[in-house]
Each structure stands twice: as structure tokens, then as C-alpha cells.
Amino acid sequence: MAQVLEERKIQVEVKLEQEKINKVRELANPNPNPNPNPNPNLNQVREAHARECLNTELARINLVEAAKDEEAKQVRLEHQALLKNQMKDKAFQSAAAQYNKMQERMASERAEAQYQAMLREQMSKTQANMQKFSEATKGMTS
């Protein structure tokens, strides 16, 4: 589609340039045949009409290209916004994962500390019981 528009634009520009060249030639080289056309205004009307058609076509092509450029700009902006959101989301996910790891580590450290405290308490009770039995058995043997 873009290539067709570009080719059509080039064709219109070439035709417009050719019309300008023809106009300059006519001004530089007056008509050698006096009055070949009984109505000289007819040529001027045709030229004006052709020029108007070319200008209209060129304006239409320029509008189509401007719309296409605007659409491409909008697509780029949307894509850029999407990438920014993806980057923010990835950063958030990373921070959340890091926070969760820290929370898990702290919870496991607390659980380990509680377990060690329970073991110390059990060991002290066991040692106290052993001490009692040891003293009780010493009293029996003596």
C-alpha cells in the first residue's frame, strides 16, 4: 500500500513538473501556428483543470501519508508505553520475590531459634532429671 502511494505520488509530481516545463516552453516559444485552435481559452481551461486535478491528487496523497505517519507514531507510542509497563511490572515482580525470600528467611530463622530454645529447655530438664536420679541412686548405694 505504501509503495503504491509512493509511486502514485511520484507520478503526480512528475506530471506536475512536466506541466510546469510545458508552460515555460509555451511562454518562451510563442505559438508558431497562428490560431491552430479557434478557442485559445480552451487550452488554458484544460491546463487549469489538469493543474487543479494534479494539485487535488497531490493533496489527497499528502493527507493519506500524514494519516499513515500519525498512525505509525501512535503505534510507536503505544508500544513504548507497553514496554515501560512491562519493565515496571518486571521490577515489581523482582522486588516482590526478593521481599518474599527475605520474609521466608526471617521466618525460618525465628523457627530455628524457637527450636534451639526448645532443645535447650529439654536438655536442661533432661539434665535435671538425670541429676535427680543420679543423686537418688547415690543415696541408695550408700
DSSP string for residues in 16-78: HHHHHHHHHHHHHS--SSSSSSS-HHHHHHHHHHHHHHHHHHHHHHHHHHHHHHHHHHHHHHH
Indicate whether 79 belongs to any domain.
Answer: yes
Reported confidence tier of residue 37, pLDDT bands at 50, 70, 90: low
User: 108 lies in a domain?
Assistant: yes
The yes-or-no verdict on residue 7 having pLDDT over 80 is: yes
Q: Give the residue-averaged pLDDT of 138-142.
A: 70
62 neighbors 5 (Cβ within 8 angstroms): no
61: Cβ–Cβ under 8 A, 6 or more apart, which residues? 5, 8, 9, 12
35: left (phi over 0), alpha (psi -120 to 50) or beta: left
Question: What confidence tens digit (pLDDT) does each residue in 110-136 have?
Answer: 999 999 999 999 999 999 999 988 888
Q: Is residue 137 part of a domain?
A: no
Q: From CA 42, how far away is CA 20, in angstroms rounded?
A: 18
Q: Is residue 20 part of a domain?
A: yes
Looking at residue 77, its amino acid is L
Q: Which domain holds residue 49?
A: 7-30+38-127
Take residue 2 and report the three cell numbers written for it. 505504501
In a domain, 94, yes or no: yes
Over residues 29-50, the mean pLDDT reads: 70
Question: How confident is the model at residue 30, as a pLDDT?
Answer: 61
Given a cut of 90, whether residue 94 has pLDDT beyond it is yes
- Total domains in the chain come to 1
Q: Tell me if the pTM is above 0.85.
A: no
Q: Does any domain span residue 11?
A: yes
pLDDT given for residue 50 in this prediction = 87
Residue 71 above 70 pLDDT?
A: yes
